[in-house]
Structure formats: structure tokens, C-alpha cells
């Protein structure tokens, strides 16, 4: 199993996603002899998972069933164990596009955190690219190395435990793009410029506070970066549902009733009046925004290394 190469069959040691519903899923490490408890009952890895195809419908011990999905960076973002605050697919998608990443790209990242963005970057630059990721916290760096090894992508990523603001990324003039998600990104702009290729490259900084953005933009300008711009991505989700509305009475029915001497107050006519009212409805699909939406996550500042 690899996050960058699809495998048909579930194997011992794989990381799989147990899908109970759109709002309920979790990762599980498949191990011979192990069991996983769900609200629908027990899943026995040896008999229910190993050897089955990804996407299979598995019946649990209580009679309920789940689907076993192949892991992807998107599914991992939704289900990973949080060691830090993470980036979600909305921000990740614009970062990947604006940094102009493609297979074969070399990317430098700091900090690694929970590895949400890291997995997406690795999938994008595979099979010939590479990710150099720097994490200040030693335990988080070690856990990231372990996850990359379990997910079959360790050959595409190098994890370094050091302070990027003081020691940089450990590489020079090889990166096509640099991403910063640290408390003081302005202190790492010089190291980011050194890591980028001499012929230029792109940089992105993620910051939750506008004061961080201001200092970072000033540091970028002083270091000779151009095309500096900051944006914020706000996702608004809609529910599509069937809505019934009454057809408006524009007066024609009232005129017809008056011309024929129709008395709506008469008991004999009240039933027919209600029936006509019920029949005068139309159903259609409508998009309704959620009552609660995800608000501010952070500001994304992009810039280009100048060739001058």
C-alpha cells in the first residue's frame, strides 16, 4: 500500500480507511490477528480485511456493514491524528496550484506538523520529485518519519529536525517552491530564498494573523521577491434538497369564481377550494447554505523569487 500508488488488495501492514458514513470514518492499521471495534460490531482483520479488495463492503459481527477504502491524501486529512492544527483540502488545493507544483518538482516545507499538507505535496511531486520538510519539535519529526514509512512514501520525503529560522532547510538552490507554516515566517525568508533555484521559484506562507502577514510581506520585499499577494479562502457549502412552493394566484382564479357566482364561504365549496390550493404547488431542487460555516483559517501569501 502506498499513498501515491493505488493497490487493489488489502495487505498486512496497510493503512486503510473504515468508512461508516460521510460524517463517520477512521483509519486503521491492518494487522494479522487484530480486531477493530465499530458501532456495527467487530471487524476481524485476518478474515474480514486481509486479501479483500479495497472498496469492499464488509459485514461486522452485529450485522451492520462498512466500506474499506484505499487511503488518499484527502481522506488522510479528514482522519489523521492531530498533533497540531492542520491545513484542509480547501487551502491545500490553492497552495498546490499557486506554487505551480507538478510531478518532478522539488519542494521545501516547514513545519511538518501532522503531515496533512505533506502527504498532498508528496502525491503531487511523485514519482520523480522530492519533499524536504523541516520540523522544530523532535517527537513530531520522529512521528512524521514513521508515518511516511508506513504509508510507503519515505523515498519521496526527507524529514529534518531543526529550527528553520536559524538553520534553514539544509539544501541550497534546488527547490522549485517553498512553503512556510511557522509562527515567525519573516525570519525564514532568507533561508527560503537560498533554498530556491537560482533561476527562480515560488514561495507561500500560511499565517492566521494579519500582523504576521504584514511582517512577512516586508521581509519578502526586502529579499527581492516580486508578485507578492495575499489571499484568504472561505468555503461555503450548500445542501441540495427538494422544496415545495405554492403557485402564486395572480387573480385569474378569483375572477373566474366571481363570474360563475362561486361562494368560497359555502361549506359545499370549502373542500374543493382546499383541494385546488393543494394542487397549486410545485416541487424543485434548491441549494440551501449550511447554518454553520467554516470561517477564517488563515492568510496565504504568495511571491516569486526575482531573477535579478
Q: Which of 105, 104, 154, 160 is nearest to 132 (CA)?
A: 160
Is 100 within any annotated ligand binding site? no
Answer for the pair 198, 266: CB distance below 8 angstroms, yes or no. Answer: no
CA distances from 33 to 11, 15, 83 (A): 13, 15, 28
Is 207 within any annotated ligand binding site? no
Q: Look at residue 308 and give its three-state secondary structure.
A: coil
Is 222 within any annotated ligand binding site? no
Is 276 within any annotated ligand binding site? no
C-beta contacts of 141-149 below 8 A and 24+ residues apart:
141/112, 143/83, 144/112, 144/115, 144/118, 147/115, 148/115, 148/118, 148/122
Is 115 within any annotated ligand binding site? yes
Is 244 within any annotated ligand binding site? no
Is 292 within any annotated ligand binding site? no
| Cell numbers standing for residue 204 | 507561500
| Cell numbers standing for residue 114 | 501532522
Answer for the pair 158, 110: CB distance below 8 angstroms, yes or no. Answer: no
Answer for the pair 54, 8: CB distance below 8 angstroms, yes or no. Answer: yes
Give me the helices (H) in 100-188, please: 116-125, 138-150, 164-167
For residue 246, give every residue at least 6 positions away whose Cβ sits within 8 Å of its Cβ, in sequence order, or none.
277, 280, 281
Answer for the pair 216, 301: CB distance below 8 angstroms, yes or no. Answer: yes
| Cell numbers standing for residue 124 | 503531487
Binding site residue list: 114-117, 135, 163, 181
| Sequence ranges of the binding site for S-adenosyl-L-methionine | 114-117, 135, 163, 181
Amino acid at each position: 500500500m502506498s499513498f501515491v500508488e493505488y493497490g487493489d488488495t488489502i495487505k498486512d501492514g496497510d493503512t486503510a480507511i473504515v468508512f461508516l458514513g460521510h460524517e463517520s470514518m477512521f483509519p486503521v492499521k491492518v494487522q494479522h490477528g487484530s480486531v477493530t471495534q465499530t458501532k456495527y460490531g467487530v471487524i476481524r482483520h485476518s478474515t474480514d480485511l486481509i486479501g479483500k479488495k479495497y472498496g469492499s463492503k464488509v459485514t461486522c459481527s452485529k450485522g451492520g456493514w462498512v466500506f474499506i477504502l484505499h487511503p488518499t491524501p484527502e481522506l488522510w486529512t479528514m482522519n489523521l491524528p492531530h498533533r497540531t492544527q492542520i491545513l484542509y483540502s480547501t487551502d491545500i488545493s490553492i497552495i498546490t496550484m499557486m506554487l505551480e507544483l507538478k510531478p518532478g518538482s522539488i519542494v521545501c516545507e516547514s513545519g511538518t506538523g501532522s503531515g496533512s499538507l505533506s502527504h498532498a505535496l508528496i502525491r503531487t511531486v511523485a514519482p520523480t520529485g522530492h519533499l524536504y520538510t523541516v520540523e522544530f519539535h523532535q517527537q513530531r519529526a520522529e512521528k512524521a518519519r514513521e508515518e511516511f514509512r508506513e504509508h510507503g512514501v519515505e523515498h519521496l520525503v526527507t524529514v529534518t529536525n531543526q529550527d528553520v529560522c536559524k538553520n534553514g532547510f539544509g539544501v541550497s538552490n534546488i527547490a522549485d517552491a517553498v512553503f512556510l507554516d511557522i509562527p515567525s515566517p519573516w525570519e525564514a525568508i532568507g533561508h527560503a530564498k537560498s533554498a530556491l533555484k537560482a533561476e527562480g521559484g515560488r514561495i507561500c506562507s500560511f499565517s492566521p494573523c494579519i500582523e504576521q502577514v504584514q511582517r512577512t510581506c516586508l521581509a519578502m520585499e526586502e529579499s527581492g521577491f516580486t508578485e507578492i499577494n495575499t489571499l484568504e479562502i472561505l468555503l461555503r457549502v450548500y445542501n441540495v434538497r427538494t422544496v415545495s412552493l405554492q403557485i402564486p394566484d395572480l387573480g385569474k382564479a378569483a375572477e373566474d369564481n366571481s363570474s360563475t357566482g362561486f361562494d368560497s364561504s359555502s361549506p359545499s365549496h370549502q373542500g374543493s377550494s382546499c383541494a385546488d390550493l393543494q394542487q397549486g404547488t410545485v416541487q424543485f431542487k434548491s441549494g440551501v447554505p449550511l447554518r454553520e460555516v467554516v470561517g477564517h483559517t488563515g492568510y496565504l501569501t504568495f511571491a516569486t523569487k526575482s531573477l535579478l
